[in-house]
Amino acid sequence: MILFHKQTDISQFIAQKKQSGAVIGFVPTMGALHPGHISLINNSKKDCSITVSSIFVNPTQFNDPKDFEKYPVTIDSDIDGLEKAGCDVLFLPSAAEVYPGGMQHLPQYDLGYLETILEGKYRPGHFQGVCQVVHRLLDIVKPDHLYLGQKDFQQCMVIKRLIALTGLHTLVTICPTLRETDGLAMSSRNMRLTAAEREKAVLISQVLGFIKQELKPGYLEDLKERAVQYLTAEGFKVDYIEIASADNLELQQFWNGQLPLVAIAAAYLNEVRLIDNMLLH
Ligand code: AMP
């Protein structure tokens, strides 16, 4: 695996490879890698001749400075894991390399409704930060394919919108959420859970499974309310549990029995905020 720190170096390398016909797959990450990240690398390797990953903990997407400070960093084992997975290139930039003009006057993106709900509502500015970093990384790497995890369902929609807004030529592939054996969605933030919290954390995926099982055509409020009450009684601080259109994330109060739906949740266990989602069809 070739490691680049400088934007000019990786851009030059990729331009050369593209000239000789290489198909570039890209997996952007914030590090603290787990098998979920590696599954994206594996998907890229299936479709592309060169797989590029990046590790950059992007300050502009953290609305909570404490969350940024405590974000886990495991760079040596990340490099090891990427190498074992057969990743070809790792981009490991500094903030100055990603944002050479500083972080004060970065572009803003018209994300419309998507930015007003769920993560957009509870993490103000978060998706602007995601777009700022992903736009910059896509400009640097110029991938043919971009691999994202369904775990961050709303983020996938935001990035698709970013690509449409900017006219970039990158195909997005959304890969399924990898889970621990008990059902907990793998996440870098899981490393911050105590043993007792880790045991409880599985209840988020269980409550989404409960919604899937109980879903019937008609009003959805009672089902969502029962799910919130269940997690709250177990000691979670719930930001939201919602049922939304799986196509555009419009929140649904009523189900006609036809529309493809996703159940989507965010909740704190003490300091650690966990998110998960489940398709309901
Ligand atoms: P992150 O490092 O959290 O920014 O995630 C980098 C990429 O990995 C994003 O596209 C995530 O959606 C994806 N990802 C994170 N967790 C999982 C998981 N459990 N399964 C599949 N993909 C994941």
Residue 238: per-residue pLDDT? 98
Residue 127: per-residue pLDDT? 98
Q: Distance from the CA of 106 to the center of ligand 1, in angstroms?
A: 24
| 52 within ligand 1 shell (Cβ under 6 A) | no
CB 156 within 8 A of CB 150: yes
CB 188 within 8 A of CB 258: no
Q: Distance from the CA of 186 to the center of ligand 1, in angstroms?
A: 8
Q: 63-94: per-residue pLDDT in tens?
A: 999 999 999 999 999 999 999 999 999 999 99
Is the model's pLDDT at 183 over the cut of 90? yes
Residue 281: per-residue pLDDT? 80
Q: What is the per-residue DSSP string for 217-238?
A: SEE-HHHHHHHHHHHHHTT-EE
The C-alpha atoms of residue 23 and residue 42 are separated, in whole angstroms, by 15
pLDDT band per the 50, 70, 90 thresholds, residue 25: very high
Q: What's the rounded mean pLDDT across residues 201-211?
A: 98
DSSP state of 257: S
Q: 233-251: per-residue pLDDT in tens?
A: 999 999 999 999 999 999 9
Q: What sections of 176-255 are H helices per DSSP? A: 195-214, 221-233
